Amino acid sequence: MEHNFNLKVTKDPLRKPQLILDATDWQQPGPAVGHPEAPIFLVSTDDLISLTVRQAGQSLEGLRFTTYTNQELTEEEEVDFDRHGLLRYTRRPNAPGLLMITTASPPSKRPRPLGAVLFDPELPAASREPSTPTLPDLAARVLRATANPYLHQWFAQNLHPHELPLKGLERNDSLHFRNILFSLPRAAGANFGDTAAAGSPPLPNSFPRSPFPPDSFDHIWTPEPSPVRGDAAPPKAPAAAEQRQLLVQTQEQVRVAEDFALTVEIAVDAAAAGEHEGTAPLPEGFAGQLQIDVRAPGLRLTTASSLPLVVPPAGGSAPIRFGFQAPQPGRYSITVNAWNGAAHIASVTVAVRVVLAAAEPAPAAGPALGSATDRGPDEPGGDGQATVALRNPEAGEYTLEVEYDAAEGQYSFRLRSEWEVHPPLHSPELVANRSDILGGLARMMNDLARNTQRYTDEQALNWLQGMGTLMFEQLLPPELQRLLWRERNRMQRLNLISTADQMPWEILFLSDPDAGPDDAAGIFLTDATLVVRWVYGPGAPSQLRPAPAYVVIPPDAPAEAQQELASVASVCGQPKLVSDLDALRQLTSNGAFRWLHFAAHNISLPDQVGTAYIPFGKSAYSLPLLAAAPRRRYAADQPLVFMNACTTAGAQPLFTEMGGWADNFLRRGAAAFIGSLWEIRDQPAAEFAAAFYQALAENNNLGEAVRRARKSLKPGDPTYLAYTLYGNPSAVLVKQ
């Protein structure tokens, strides 16, 4: 059983730090006026605890975690908050005792106690406590956990004999833990020793006085450490940094209907031995819990599709296991994704060969699909990059995974937040082929951009709201509709992660599915939050470099293209102008650029295979010319590509999937891509670019620049909703 405690450090009435549960779905019980809260968590010694703490009004460097087992101080650790104000701590106790949580203070200062976890060896794993446990029962648990009278005193000072509120918590599905005890100020005259359970040794009736004055509001007393057992050990020399990987392994060959397993673990200096194994670099310095998901089209899962993986501070980890069966012979791919909350960390794909009989020879071992040997030296996880940067989820960050199952004709969705991972949800079956639906939707959006219906701005906006409502009601299952509506004010950022899906989710018009006729009006998803797209695989970089920069303006570009050249120059210095087809072909083939801006026309015929091209007089720069560039060609420079032209973020049917400019630039290593999902009008497009570059020049990050550019356009103009961003919205410019 795992307990995930979501906590935050805030300020008490005296502006000192206090630790409280971070939840909004219930009324948190509070202590008497003038005393800070201090949570006490009661868990089994067989359980795993994961503490995720965020800062809310405090600026602490870190927290100290002190473990007492019986009468001994057995371990003391300090964990720092990251730059986003998040701290993660994971521990499996395996022995009775107490974990104290205090502020991390210099030796000259007394640490401030914040809370505790009591490990009870006789509490069954995954048990559910009664809603109002008695103090005699709790007293017996304290005695079982530790024989130290000072620890008994700690509980005596912090437990109210009449109020141990648990009401509502044991049934709250949004909190992934049980057995919560809040400490409250001890009532006058109450004696913890008076409440010892029958048959248990009585607790002492008198305790040493607390060394803290009663008016200090430090009403939680940290037990004194045991006497020093010999001289302190000299500090250890820092060890060399380990090269840790996420290692995925399965069997090379199995028989039809045979049970087989896939294991995921953290390993040191691992290497894949064939396509049935794969590795991805683990972010340096990560310790805590990753959520591991598997996707295996055509295979039947015999276990859960999502499991937690506990990552120790150093070395390898215990493996976790996923089970499968294959109903038919063939070669099957299994994709493993690792998540740190709402942040995607790594992706590994391996393959298994399924045969009718065991006598068939296995193919010669080759490089694993997801391993370093399958990648170029400049690809994240390849030989040129041994480690990747750790990215913790940011405040208000959500991720929506979107997958399309062609066999079932339906979408599947999974919403993740910093605190919660919701189960997969499925759309109804589409009534037509997805590519036909996307093509028809693109034609309607293009007609709106051309204003063939002669709509006013108000009428056009109303049409967009109606189309967004139809998508919201028909493509999203009711549970997801309610989730997005409920979380709309908490979402500061929504990552859409999928495999080459160009459905314009940005225009979803959110509303309350249970609303009455007089309830609040709806809102476009892209107005409710910053919507960002990405694909599975290495995460988007957090830094962008504006030079060398190139601006593509073909001979027959829109008249407003020269305005965009000046906009780019305000951020990138003096960009080089590209007006020749062969010059553009050579540039995209060689990849020696960090900023590439197109001010052009783009022709896209959604019903025809691979028909996306930039006109260059009587010739054209088409999608195959970009596809001729080697994969990961741009990985070293990690450029931003802004294709300010019609339908550059759209997709056309290729051979086995939908594709377009966006996914082809990203596959070659682009750090970010900005494009349009349908046709855009020339003057609003130039205005969007001007506002975007002005926001960057004012030192805003990438996401804020796109947000400001969108707000610069009139809501009645469909160009206002057409743009989409692939990349890290927190990315900032790094000047040369």
Mean pLDDT calculated for residue range 663-672:
92
How does pLDDT run across 253-284, given as a tens digit for each residue? 999 988 899 999 999 888 887 899 999 888 77
| Nearest by Cα to 61 from 19, 100, 104 | 104
Q: What is the pLDDT of residue 3?
A: 65
**What is the percent of the chain where pLDDT is above 70?**
71
Could you say which DSSP state residue 161 is in?
A: S
Residue of higher predicted confidence among 203 and 506: 506
| pLDDT value of residue 110 | 59
Q: Got the DSSP string for 219-284?
A: -S-PPPPPPP-SSPPPPPPPPPPP-EEEEEEE-SEEETT--EEEEEEEEES----STTEEEEEPPT
CA distance 696 to 138: 58
Which of 549, 555, 473, 478 has the alpha carbon at shortest distance from 508?
Answer: 473
The better pLDDT of the pair 174, 96 is held by 96
Closest CA to 707 of 487, 493, 470: 493
Contact 204, 147 (CB under 8 A): no
Q: What contacts 8, CB < 8 A, 6 or more positions away?
A: 19, 20, 21, 22, 53, 54, 55, 56
Q: What is the pLDDT of residue 152?
A: 52
How does strand 603-604 pair with strand 62-69?
A: unpaired
pLDDT at 686: 96
Across residues 615-634, what is the average pLDDT? 91
Q: One-letter amino acid identity for 178?
A: R
Q: Taking 70 as the threshold, does the pLDDT of residue 349 lie above it? A: yes
**Residue 170 above 80 pLDDT?**
no
Region of poorest pLDDT, from 144-153, 266-275, 516-525: 144-153
Domain parsing of the chain, residue ranges: 2-216, 244-374, 397-535, 543-733
Q: Report which of residues 226 and 432 the model is more confident about.
A: 432
Helix extents (H) in 76-162: 135-145, 149-158
**Measured distance CA(349)–CA(547) in Å, rounded:** 34
Is residue 17 over pLDDT 60?
Answer: yes
Predicted pLDDT of residue 604: 82
Cβ-contact 278, 234 below 8 angstroms: no
Query: Are 20 and 35 in contact, with CB atoms under 8 Å apart?
Result: no
Cβ 708 vs Cβ 582: under 8 Å: no
Say which range, 19-23, 70-74, 197-201, 476-480, has the weakest mean pLDDT: 197-201
Asked if the 543-733 domain carries CATH number 3.40.50.1460, the reply is: yes
Are the C-beta atoms of 345 and 283 separated by less than 8 Å?
yes
**Which of the four pLDDT bands, split at 50, 70 and 90, describes residue 183?**
very low
Supply the pLDDT for residue 639.
96
pTM: 0.62
Least confident of 192-196, 238-242, 320-324, 684-688: 192-196
- Is 37 or 173 the better-scoring residue by pLDDT? 37
Helix (H, G, I), strand (E, B) or coil at 551: strand
- How far apart are the C-alpha atoms of 385 and 631, rounded to whole Å? 16
Nearest residue to 9 (alpha-carbon basis) of 100, 107, 111, 102: 102
The vertex-710 CA angle with 708 and 713, nearest 5°, equals 110
Determine the topology of domain 244-374 in CATH.
Immunoglobulin-like (2.60.40)
Cis-peptide, bond into residue 517, ω within 30° of zero: no
Residue-level pLDDT at 344:
85
Give the Cα separation of 116 and 173 in Å (integer). 23
Question: Are 554 and 615 within 8 A, CB to CB?
Answer: yes
Give the residue-averaged pLDDT of 374-403: 58
- Higher model confidence: residue 317 or residue 174? 317
pLDDT of residue 121: 65
Kindly calculate the radius of gyration of the chain based on its CA atoms and give it in whole angstroms: 29
Six token digits for residue 245: 């990987």
* 10 burial via Cβ count (<10 Å: 0-12, 13-18, 19+): middle
Give me the mean pLDDT over the 386-398 stretch. Answer: 65
Average pLDDT, the chain: 75
